[in-house]
């Protein structure tokens, strides 16, 4: 479900437990961080960038890639990474779910 659906389900007691990305505070919901991590880039083994230990948004400029939908928390996090790197965000296709 989308973030809003998870929050609504827990608040309305349709769900007893929900997992959401980046929930810092919400009235009426007790929460705890269960994991923190970094974004990853998934590539085929033969890809020219596959041997790099770290891939930045700048490295992806001009290459075809799949982007996450605007308005989703992960999609906005990816866009922010590109903006911080000063790289244009031009995915070949955008998807809702990863």
Give the whole-angstrom CA distance, residue 11 versus residue 9.
Answer: 6
- For 39-77, what is each residue's pLDDT tens digit? 889 999 999 999 999 999 999 988 999 998 888 888 888
Look up residue 60 and give its two tokens. 């992806």
Q: For residue range 71-96, list pLDDT tens digits in order.
A: 888 888 899 999 999 999 999 999 98
Measured CA to CA, the distance from residue 90 to residue 62 in angstroms comes to 8
Which run of H or E residues covers position 68? strand 66-68
Distance of CA 63 to the CA centre of its chain: 19
Distance CA 36, CA 39 (A): 10
């Amino acid at each position: 479900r989308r973030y809003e659906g998870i929050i609504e389900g827990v608040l309305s007691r349709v769900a007893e437990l929900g997992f959401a990305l980046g929930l810092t505070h919400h009235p009426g919901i007790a929460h705890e961080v269960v994991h923190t991590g970094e974004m990853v880039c998934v590539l085929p083994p033969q890809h020219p960038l596959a041997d790099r230990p770290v891939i930045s948004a700048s490295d992806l400029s001009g290459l075809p890639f799949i982007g996450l939908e605007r308005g989703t928390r992960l999609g906005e996090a990816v866009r922010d990474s590109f903006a911080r790197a000063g790289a244009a965000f031009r995915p070949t296709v955008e998807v809702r779910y990863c």
